[in-house]
Amino acid sequence: MKRRLYLDTSAYLCILLGDAGSQRLSEETAKADLCSSVLLVLESRRNLTRLAREAVLTPSQYDECQAKVTEDIEQLILRDLTLDLCDALPMPAVTTPRSLDMVHLRTASWFHAQAPLTKFVTLDAAQAQAARELGLPT
């Protein structure tokens, strides 16, 4: 059975930018169905713009990363942010995630209810804890 992973923006950007840990994440996500929220696209493009403005990315690196996001959109299984996700009641038992983190958590919960996810992939420890509290595999 093919693995189904939920990829949050922190993990996606790590892979995209080749940051520390990207090799492990690339291997983990290879040949898996990758699910996420459309929020990943917005957050990724915003962060790439920020990094370019801060001169962390050169103009050519920025263009390459933006092109890769466009390419990846076709490969990712994306869920729109809709009222039903915003109005859903599940909240982590202990942690109180930031609003945009909650979008990822609720989207992952929605995917998990449709067909079980193998793993919620994030680099954010608080996000991983909240995912566990919601019954998502981490």
- 89-98 pLDDT, tens digit each: 778 989 999 9
pTM: 0.94
Residue 138 domain-assigned (yes or no): no
Residue 74 domain-assigned (yes or no): yes
Is residue 128 over pLDDT 80?
Answer: yes
- 68-83 pLDDT, tens digit each: 999 999 999 999 999 9
For position 36, which CATH number holds?
A: 3.40.50.1010
DSSP per-residue string spanning the chain: ---EEEE-HHHHHHHHHT-TTHHHHHHHHTTSEEEEETHHHHHHHHHHHHHHHTTSS-HHHHHHHHHHHHHHHTTSEEE---HHHHT-----SS----HHHHHHHHHHHHHHHHS--SEEE-S-HHHHHHHHHTT---
Residue 72 domain-assigned (yes or no): yes
Is residue 28 over pLDDT 80?
Answer: yes
